[in-house]
Structure 1
Amino acid sequence: MKLGIIGTNFITGQLIEAASHLDDVKPTAVYSRTEEKAQEFARKHGLSYTYTDLEAFAESDYIDAVYIASPNALHHDQAILCMKNGKHVLCEKPIASNHREAEEMFRTAKEEGVVLIEAMKSTCMPGFQKIQENIDRIGKVRRYVGNYCKFSSRYEAYRQGEVLNAFKKELSNGALMDLGVYGIYPMVVLFGEPHKVQATGTLLDTGVDGQGTALFTYGDKEAVVSFSKIHNAYAPSEIQGEEGSIIIPDISTPDGMTIKFRDGTEEKIETNTVYPPMFYELYEFKMVIKHNLRGSIINAPHNSLVTAKLMEEARRQMGVAFPADE
C-alpha cells in the first residue's frame, strides 16, 4: 500500500515511524502548502514525491491511501477530495469539525467504495482490547472517568501573546477537540451513545475552550470526561464497577492498567504492546483495506459519528462555535 501523507508535523513523523514496522505499507509522498516544508519532510523520512497542489496529490498514481494530519477544519474537504479520487483515508482525530461534516465524509466513502477510518490510536491498541476483555470482571459498571489534562507548550506562547494553531477557532481547535476526544471516543466504543450531555468549560479570548468537563448520562451509569490544555492533571482514568475498578494511567495510550477489586486485591493487566502506539491504527487500516471491508469494527463509522455528535453538543453548551458550523 502506497501511503500519501498530508501534514508535516510531529504526528506524521510518528505515523511514518509506525509504518516502518509494516512491510506492506510504504509512505511514498507528502503534501504541504510550501515546497520547502514538503522537501524537508521528504528528505527526513525518505519519501519519493512531494506535492504543494492538493488536487495533484489526490490524483497521484503514486498513492493508494492517505493519512490526514492537517488542522481539524481541513479534514472534511481534504478527505472528500482524496476519496473522490479513489484513495482510502485514515483521518486523524477528531475526524471532522462537527457531525454534519463527519456524515458527509462517511457518505462519500460509501459512495466511492473506499475506506475511511478515524485515526483514534488508543482503541486499536492491545491495552484497550484488554480493557474490553476484563471489564466484566469488575461487575456492573456504574461510572466511567476519562481524564486528559495536559499543559500545552502552545499555551505558553499564547500567554506571551502569540496565538498558534492549537487555539484558533477557525481551525476547529481547542481542548475538547484535541484532548477531550481521547476520553469520549473509548466511552462510546465501550458503552454506546449516552442519553444526555452536560458540559461546561473555560473559554479563552480566541473563542476556543482551554479546559472543560462533560457529564454523560446513561440509564444505569454515568461518565465524566475532563480535558484541558491550560493545566496538567495527574489523576488516572478509571472504569468503576460494583465489584472493582480498572485504573488506566493514560487514557490516550492505554497500557499498564490495574484492576482493584472491592475485596482489596489488585491485579495487573498484562498487555502486549510491542510496537509504537500508532502502529495499531495503521495496521487496522491496512487490514480493513486488504480484506475489502467497508470500515473498521473497532473504529467504526458509527463510533466516529456518535463521538462527533456528542462533541458538537458539548461545544454548544460551552459556547464554542466554529466557522465550519455555519
Structure 2
Amino acid sequence: MRFGVVGTNWITEEFIRSGKEIPGFSLEAVYSRTEERAKAFAEKMGAPHTFTDLEKMAASKLIDAVYIASPNSFHASQAITCMNQGMHVLCEKPFASHAEEVKQMLEAAKRNDVLLMEAVKSTFAPNFGVIQANMHKLGRIRRYFASNCQYSSRYDAYKEGQMSNAFDPQFSNGALMDIGIYCIYPLVVLMGKPERIQAEAILLESGVDGQGSILLRYPDCEAQVMFSKITTSYLPAEIQGEDATMIINKINRPQKVEIRYRDGRVEDLSVPQTPQIMHYEIRAFMELFQAGERESPTNSHLHSMIAMEIMDEARKQIGLCFPADQPRDS
C-alpha cells in the first residue's frame, strides 16, 4: 500500500517508522506547505516524491492512501480534498473540529467510495482486544474511569509568552481534543453513546482548555474521565464491575491489563505487543484496504461521530469555542 503523508511532525515520523515494520507498506510522497520543509522531511524519511499542492498529490496516481497529521483544524478539509480525488484516508485524532465536519467527511467517503478511518491507535492494540474479550468476567459494569494527564513539553514556553499550535484555538487544540479523546474513544468503543454528560474545565488565557473532566451517564453505569496538558497523572484506568475490577496501566497505550476479583484473586491478562503501538492501526487500515472494506468495525464511523458529539457537548458546557465552529460564510 503506497502512502502519502500530510504533516511533517514527530507523529508522522512515528507513523512512518511503524509502517515500515509492516510488509507491503511504502512511503511514496510528502506534502508540506513549503517546498523546503517537504524536501527535508522526504530526504530524512526516505520518500521519493514531494508536493506543496495537496490536490496534486492526491491526484498523482503515485499513492493509494493519505495519512493526515496536520493541525486539527485542517483535518476535515484536507481529508475531503483527498477523498474527492479517490484517495483512501487515515486521519489523525481528533477526526475534525466538530461533528458537522465529521458528517461532511463521512459523506465524502461514501460519495467517493473510499476507506476513511480515524487514527486512534490505542483501540487496535492487542491489549485493548484483551479488555474487550474479558469484560464479561467483571459482572455488571458500574464504572469506567480513565485519566490521561500529560504535562505538555510546550507549556513552559507558553507560560513565557510563546504561543504554539498546542495551545492555539485557531488549530482546534487543547487538552480535550488532543489527549482527552484517548479517554473518550475507548469508552465509546466499549460502551457506546452515553445518555448525558457533565463537563468541567480550566481554560487558559489563549482560550483553550488546559485541563478538564467529564462525567458520562449510561443506563446503569457511570464513566469518569480526566485529561490535562498542564499537570501529570500516574493513575491507571479502571473498569469496575460488581464481581471484579479490570485495571489498565495506561488507557492511551494499554500494555498491562489485570482483573482483581472480590475474593482476592488476581488474573494478569496482558499479552506481548510492540512498543510501536501505531503498528497495529496501520496494519488494520492496510488489511481493510486489501479486503476492499470502507470502514473499520473498531474505529467505525459511528464511534468517531459519537466521540466527536461528546466533545462538542463538553466544549459547549465549558465555554470552549474554536474559530472553526463559526459558519464559513460569517
Shorter-chain TM-score bucket reads over 0.9
Deviates more, 1:272-281 or 1:176-185: 272-281
Q: RMSD of the alignment, in Å? A: 0.9
Q: 1:128 matched to which residue of 2?
A: 128
AA of the residue aligned to 1:79: A
Q: Show structure 1 runs of 4+ deviating over 3 A.
A: none
Aligned partner of residue 212 in structure 1, secondary structure: strand
Q: Is the 8 A contact 1:7 1:32 kept in 2?
A: yes
Q: 1:144 matched to which residue of 2?
A: 144
User: Cα distance, 1:275 vs. partner?
Assistant: 6.0
Unmatched 5+ stretches in structure 1: none
In 1, Cα distance between equivalents of 2:186 and 2:235: 18
Instruction: Give per-residue Cα distances to partners, 1:285-323, cap 9 Å, x unaligned.
Output: 111111111200110100000001000000110110111
In 2, Cα distance between equivalents of 1:274 and 1:235: 22
Aligned partner of residue 292 in structure 1, secondary structure: coil
In 2, Cα distance between equivalents of 1:274 and 1:236: 20
Q: Is the 8 A contact 2:89 2:117 kept in 1?
A: yes
Q: Is the 8 A contact 2:165 2:173 kept in 1?
A: yes
Please list, as runs of the form range in 1=range in 2, the aligned pairs for 1:79-94 lying within 5 A after superposition: 79-94=79-94
Instruction: Give per-residue Cα distances to partners, 1:256-306, cap 9 Å, x unaligned.
Output: 112111111212112131362001111111111111112001101000000
State the percentage of identical aligned residues.
Answer: 48
In 2, Cα distance between equivalents of 1:9 and 1:261: 43
Q: 1:56 matched to which residue of 2?
A: 56
Please list, as runs of the form range in 1=range in 2, the aligned pairs for 1:1-326 lying within 5 A after superposition: 1-274=1-274, 276-326=276-326
Q: Is the 8 A contact 2:259 2:268 kept in 1?
A: yes
AA of the residue aligned to 2:190: L
User: Cα distance, 1:242 vs. partner?
Assistant: 0.7
User: Cα distance, 1:214 vs. partner?
Assistant: 0.4
Q: Is the 8 A contact 1:18 1:275 kept in 2?
A: no
Q: Is the 8 A contact 2:211 2:227 kept in 1?
A: yes
Normalising to structure 1: TM-score of the pair? Answer: 0.99
Deviates more, 1:134-143 or 1:55-64: 55-64
AA of the residue aligned to 1:299: N
Q: Is the 8 A contact 2:55 2:85 kept in 1?
A: no
Aligned partner of residue 153 in structure 1, secondary structure: coil
Instruction: Give per-residue Cα distances to partners, 1:137-176, cap 9 Å, x unaligned.
Output: 1111100001000000111111111010000111000000
Instruction: Give per-residue Cα distances to partners, 1:241-264, cap 9 Å, x unaligned.
Output: 111111111111111112111111
In 2, Cα distance between equivalents of 1:104 and 1:271: 38
1:151/1:196 Cα in 2 relative to 1: closer, same or farther (>3 Å)? Answer: same
Aligned partner of residue 154 in structure 2, secondary structure: helix
AA of the residue aligned to 1:94: P
In 1, Cα distance between equivalents of 2:135 and 2:276: 24
Between the two proteins, the alignment pairs up a number of residues equal to 326
In 2, Cα distance between equivalents of 1:180 and 1:95: 13
Aligned partner of residue 239 in structure 2, secondary structure: strand
In 1, Cα distance between equivalents of 2:186 and 2:312: 17
Aligned partner of residue 163 in structure 1, secondary structure: coil
In 2, Cα distance between equivalents of 1:115 and 1:65: 9
Aligned partner of residue 197 in structure 2, secondary structure: strand
Aligned partner of residue 216 in structure 2, secondary structure: strand
AA of the residue aligned to 1:297: P
Q: Is the 8 A contact 2:2 2:28 kept in 1?
A: yes
